[in-house]
């Protein structure tokens, strides 16, 4: 039997995937993508918090993104660029930026899931920071930068 999706989703539901690939090393992505290329509709799975899988499983390839890592590149002045691998948990990223004294994505704290999935998930993609003192909305999740 293939890998059970129930073991990879928050709701603990989902039968086996026909084929289950785990992506951990960016250098091996071309090989993994080539392996999955024959599949008509490979499904990319990250933390599984926004995914409901059928009991009958997935009739194709599931690619589990499990790449980790955060890097910071100074841009000059007070600005930095934070480069994050897709499988990095969103909570870890927020904790990292706070620990580094970087501000801007604190409003994403507490949202389950991974950094790569957040822009792909409609709810998170439309999330906006909110100033609780004024009630005004701040910058949207910067999908164009991810
Ligand atoms: C209890 C709970 C509370 C939540 N609270 C909030 C909240 O307060 N605010 C909010 O905005 N959201 C919230 N969510 C929604 C959820 O956390 C987000 O949608 C999250 O970004 C999903 O991440 P994931 O890694 O679990 O995605 P998954 O469930 O693995 O995938 C979700 C979708 O993204 C696609 N995807 C996954 N990885 C990639 C990738 N690397 N590239 C392209 N597509 C990809 C998948 O194919 C799938 O369609 C909540 C969910 C739960 C269960």
Domain shared by 43 and 75, yes or no: no
Residue with tokens 């073991």: 7
Residue 63: C-alpha distances to residues 29, 95, 106, 110, 126 (Å): 11, 26, 29, 25, 25
pLDDT at 122: 56
38 pLDDT tier (thresholds 50, 70, 90): confident
Out of 7, 42, 111, mutate this one to test ligand 1's pocket (max ligand atoms within 8 Å of CB): namely: 111
User: Do residues 90 and 55 both lie within one domain?
Assistant: no
Q: Are residues 57 and 82 in the same domain?
A: no
Which CATH number goes with the domain that contains 21?
Answer: 3.30.43.10
Same domain, 101 and 88: yes
Query: Is there a single domain that holds both residue 49 and residue 89?
Result: no
Measured from the Cα of 50, ligand 1's closest atom is 29
Percent of the chain exceeding pLDDT 70 equals 82
Residues of the domain holding 104: 70-145
Tell me, yes or no, whether 55 and 86 share the same domain: no
In this prediction, residue 142 carries a pLDDT of: 45
Q: Are residue 14 and residue 56 in the same domain, yes or no?
A: yes
Counted domains in the chain: 2
86 and 113 inside one domain: yes
pLDDT at 105 exceeding the cut of 60? yes
> ∠ at Cα 49 (43, 50), nearest 5°?
60
Measuring from each residue's beta carbon to the nearest atom of ligand 1, which residues come in under 6 Å? 10, 43-51, 65, 86, 111-114, 116-118, 120-121, 123-124, 127
Q: What pLDDT sits at residue 129?
A: 42
Pair 74, 97 in one domain: yes
In a shared domain, residues 108 and 55: no
Which ligand 1 atom lies nearest to the CA of residue 110? 8
Q: Residue range 116-143: average pLDDT? A: 52
Residue 69 confidence (pLDDT) above 70: yes
What is the pTM for the complete model shown? 0.83
Instruction: Report the atom number in ligand 1 closest to the C-alpha of 45.
Output: 30
Of the three residues 17, 48, 65, the one that is the final residue of a domain is 65
């Amino acid at each position: 039997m293939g890998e059970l999706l129930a073991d990879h989703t928050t709701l603990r539901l989902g039968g086996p995937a026909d084929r289950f690939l785990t992506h951990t090393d960016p250098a091996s992505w071309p090989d993994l993508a080539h392996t999955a290329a024959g599949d008509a509709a490979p499904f990319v799975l990250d933390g599984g918090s926004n995914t409901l899988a059928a009991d009958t499983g997935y009739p194709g390839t599931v690619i589990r993104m499990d790449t980790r890592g955060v890097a910071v590149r100074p841009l000059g002045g007070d600005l930095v660029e934070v480069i994050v691998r897709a499988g990095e948990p969103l909570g870890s990223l927020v904790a990292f930026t706070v620990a580094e004294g970087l501000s801007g994505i604190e409003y994403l704290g507490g949202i389950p899931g991974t950094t790569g999935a957040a822009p792909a998930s409609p709810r998170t993609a439309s999330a906006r920071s909110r100033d609780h003192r004024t009630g005004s909305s701040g910058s949207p999740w910067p999908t164009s930068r991810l």
